[in-house]
Every structure is written in C-alpha cells, then in structure tokens.
C-alpha cells in the first residue's frame, strides 16, 4: 500500500490508477448484487430468513470467503490472457486490455441484472478475456488466434459447461433420494403464509445459504483479486511487479529454480527450435543475474522489477510448452521449478483482498431483488418447497467450493439456477418455459457478446492509450 502514497507517482498516473481500481472494484460490486440471488433466493422463498437478514448474512459470508479462497482461481483467470499483454509494461496495451475486459463485463452484468436474468459473471469475464486476446491477435504482425491460451480456455470452458449439468442432475437426484429416505410430507409442500420451516430443515437451509455465499466469495472474489493485481503490476511495477514480502529462503529457492531449468535444458539441448532456445537461455541468464545479485527481494532495483516479472512469465510460458518433450521425471522437476519462479509474481497483498472483499460484500447487499424474484418465482410453475431449496443449495455449495479449491472458475448462477430447475423436474412441478428460454438465451449470448464488446473496446482504448 505504501507504494501508492510514497510520492513517486505523478498526478496523471495516480488518477489513472485510481480510475482503473474504481472500475475493478466496481466489477466486484456489480458481481455481488448480480449473484446474490443465487444464495438468498431459497432461504427467502422457504421463509427460513427475512429478506434483509438473508442478504446481510450473505454479504458477510461473501466478504469472509475472499480471504480463505486463496488465489488459484485468480491465476486461472490471469493465465487466459496472452503472455505478451501480461508483460506489456506501462499504460498502453496492458491497460487497454484491463479496462476493455472490465468495462465489457460490467456492461453485460448490468444489462442482464436490469432485466432480472440470472447470467454468469464468470462467463462474462472469460468471454471478455478471450475477446481481448483475439482482438490483439488481429493487429499487424500477429497471427489470428495465436496468443490466446486455448488450453486454459478449454479447461475453464469445460468447467463452465459441465457445472450447470452437474447442478441440474445432482439436485434432482438428491431430491428424489430425500423423498425415499425422509417421509415428512411437509418438506415437499410450499410454505404456508409466513410460517418458517421445521427447525432442522431451516438449519440446513440457512447453513447452505451461508455455504454458497462463502463459496461464492472464495471463487468470484478471486477474479477481482487477479484483475486488481494486473492493474497494480502494470501501472506501479516498482511496488507490485514482484512479491516484496517474499522471504530470503523463498528468493533463494527461486534462484535455484533458474539453475534447475538450465540443467534440464542442457540435458536436452535440441528440445526446442534454435530461436526459442536462444531466447529462453537469454531470459534465464538475465533472471539469474538479477536474482543472485539481490540479498533479498527488495534489493532488486525498482526500475528492474518489471524486467524480473517479464522474464519469469516468459520463461514459465516457454518451459510449460516444452515440458511434454521431456521424460516424465524431468518434466515434473521443471514443473516444480516453474512453481518456485512463479512465487515471485503470483501473490496478492492483504489490502487488495480486503478491498475486493468489501466491494463484493457491499454489492451483495444492493440490488438483489430483481434476480431473486426470477430465481424464486419464475423458474418453476409451483412455489419452491423446503426440500427443493435444500437440495439445490447443497449441490451448489459443494460444487462451487470444490471448484474454488481446484482453481476452476465456475458459475454460481448456472449451478444454482440449474439446481432449482432440476428439483422442479424431479418434483414434477413443471418449468416456466418462457423464463427458461430467456435465461438460456442470456447464457448462450454471454460469451459471444462479451467477446465482441471487449474486443472492440480493446482496439479503441489501445489506439487512445498507445
């Protein structure tokens, strides 16, 4: 935090930084109130909690979830971006990239929220990232499609595609199993008036609401953390390009990782083409000199810290592509060495976590009503029952929590909305096809619209900023 207020930033740069951070925190704020319905709709419509009690509880849990989620999802999001944009210093192409994808994501989220349509913030952000990558590849000197991390995009896309199917199927099966095992008929009837459910099922519903909110914070909050860190690294590289909190032993391990990669390459000198290998050796030599000349991470000169970050990212990208050409044991050693190197750049200060958590938590308490009504009233033809709410929330909480641990960004909206639809089918309540069609249309349009919008914004902003 001190790097922002040490007087080294000019007025223009500081204003640009503040504007960029406001937009990034704005994305998390919108994400909060856009996705709140996924956690609170079931407890509101089963009369387990009053609306504002549920929303405040969800906001607090989203806030706390950001702090325990780690940064695995954040890194998955960041690694979708073209490496050349990740190493673009200053306020040109790199900043245009960030502003384009943030503005595109916020615009689509606000539009779907206005019409009360549950859509995926994850889909929106990932579509925007791919759109920026494709737009960048259309520029002179580039080959179309090259630069987008298609392997990572495939992994993320598969997780987003499968998660609603998992939500629908598992919630339906869980409800059917409950009907066989738990014979209490009131669990499968709509609530009567404002009477709350039986104490034990009310506890389950409140617990799952808490769990979904917590899992949402740990998953979606990380996306904001990754974006904020990209902004800080690009505009204030001296303070944020490297993890200045790294201990001396960790720095030494990173330096040894450079040697390990050099030794592995020496054992297989023809593993890559001549130009690739020459560039890789030059980057390794430059990084080795910078790291071994520093007693601790803060000894790296401020004007060379971005160079260290650039070398780490370029080395990591190249070595990762070469790994499959090595024997299994050597490939495993290279992967470990890459992890040691990435400890220099893959981090987030506590104040960033706090600000993202605050934006997400406050956003959760604002504007929730539109989508809550859609989720609670307009998916099925009958009112949500206690058992349906519990089944959908249990599946959503488990799926999102596991995905956050695995570093896979999934859609809270897709999982829970699909879960409710699954329970309606299992209950033979029927679905409101007009609403389902609207939701499906929003889901199908999210990726292409966000890709086109972000790509156009990137080209416009890049022309302005470079």
Tokens, residue 25: 């925190």
pLDDT at 138: 84
Helices (H), ranges, 115-245 = 121-137, 150-181, 199-235, 237-240
- The label of the residue with tokens 């999934």 reads 410
The pLDDT value recorded for residue 205 is 87
Would you say 80 and 156 are in contact if contact means Cβ atoms under 8 Å apart? yes
Q: Phi first, then psi: give them for residue 460, nearest 5 degrees.
A: -65, -50
* Residue 407: predicted pLDDT: 65
User: What per-residue confidence (pLDDT) applies to 86?
Assistant: 67
340-354 exposure pattern, b = at least 16 Cβ within 10 A, e = fewer = bbbbbbbbbbeebbe
d(CA 455, CA 451): 6
Mind listing the pLDDT tens digit of every residue in the chain (466 residues)? 655 655 566 677 788 888 888 888 988 888 887 776 677 888 888 888 888 898 889 888 888 888 877 777 777 666 666 666 666 555 567 778 888 888 998 898 888 888 777 777 777 888 888 888 888 888 887 777 666 667 666 766 776 678 788 889 999 999 999 888 888 888 888 887 777 888 888 898 898 889 888 888 887 788 788 888 888 887 788 888 889 888 888 999 999 999 999 998 888 877 878 888 889 999 999 999 988 878 788 888 888 888 888 899 889 988 988 888 888 888 899 999 999 998 998 888 888 888 998 998 888 887 777 777 777 777 877 878 888 888 888 888 888 778 766 766 677 777 888 888 899 998 888 788 887 887 778 777 888 888 899 999 999 988 887 7
Question: For residue 396, what are the contacts with CB-CB under 8 A and spacing of at least 6?
Answer: 38, 167, 208, 212, 215, 412, 415, 416, 419
- 357 - beta bridge partners? none
Indicate yes or no: pTM above 0.85.
Answer: no
Q: Give the pLDDT confidence score for residue 296 in this predicted structure.
A: 85
Confidence at residue 7, expressed as pLDDT on a 0 to 100 scale: 54
């Amino acid at each position: 935090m001190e790097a922002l207020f040490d007087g080294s930033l000019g007025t223009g740069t500081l204003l640009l930084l503040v504007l960029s951070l406001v937009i990034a925190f704005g994305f998390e704020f919108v994400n909060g109130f856009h996705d709140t319905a996924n956690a609170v709709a079931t407890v509101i419509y089963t009369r387990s909690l009053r609306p504002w009690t549920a929303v405040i509880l969800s906001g607090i849990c989203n806030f706390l979830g950001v702090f325990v989620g780690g940064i695995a999802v954040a890194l998955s999001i960041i690694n979708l971006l073209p490496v050349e944009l990740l190493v673009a210093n200053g306020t040109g192409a790199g900043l245009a990239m960030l502003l384009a994808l943030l503005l595109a994501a916020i615009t689509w989220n606000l539009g779907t929220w206005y019409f009360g349509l549950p859509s995926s913030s994850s889909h929106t952000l990932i579509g925007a990232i791919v759109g920026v990558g494709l737009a960048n590849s259309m520029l002179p000197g580039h080959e179309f499609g090259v630069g987008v991390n298609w392997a990572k995009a495939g992994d993320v896309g598969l997780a987003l595609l499968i998660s609603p199917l998992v939500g629908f199927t598992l919630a339906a099966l869980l409800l059917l199993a409950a009907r066989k095992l738990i014979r209490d008929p009131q669990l499968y009837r709509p609530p009567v008036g404002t009477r709350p459910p039986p104490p034990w099922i009310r506890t389950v519903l409140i617990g799952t609401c808490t769990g979904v909110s917590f899992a949402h914070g740990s998953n979606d909050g990380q996306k904001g953390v990754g974006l904020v860190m990209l902004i800080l690294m690009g505009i204030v590289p001296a303070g944020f390009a490297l993890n200045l909190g790294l201990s001396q032993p960790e720095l030494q391990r990173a330096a040894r990782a450079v040697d390990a990669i050099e030794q592995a390459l020496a054992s297989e000198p023809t593993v890559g083409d001549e130009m690739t290998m020459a560039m890789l050796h030059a980057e390794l030599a430059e990084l080795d000199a910078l790291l071994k000349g520093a007693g601790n991470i803060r000894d790296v000169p401020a004007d060379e810290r971005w160079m260290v970050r650039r070398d780490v990212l370029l080395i990591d990208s190249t070595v990762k592509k070469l790994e499959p050409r090595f024997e299994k044991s050597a490939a495993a050693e290279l992967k470990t060495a890459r992890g040691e190197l990435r400890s220099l750049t893959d981090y987030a200060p506590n104040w960033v976590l706090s600000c993202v958590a605050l934006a997400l938590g406050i956003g959760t308490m604002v504007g929730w009503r539109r989508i809550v009504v859609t989720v609670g009233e307009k998916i099925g033809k009958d009112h949500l029952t206690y058992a349906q709410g519990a089944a959908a929330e249990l599946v959503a909480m488990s799926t999102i929590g596991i995905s956050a641990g695995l570093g896979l960004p999934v859609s809270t909206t897709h999982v829970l909305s699909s879960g409710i639809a699954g329970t309606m089918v299992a209950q033979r309540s029927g679905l409101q096809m007009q609403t389902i069609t609207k939701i499906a249309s929003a889901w199908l349009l999210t990726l292409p619209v966000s890709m086109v919008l972000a790509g156009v914004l990137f080209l416009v902003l890049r022309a302005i900023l470079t």
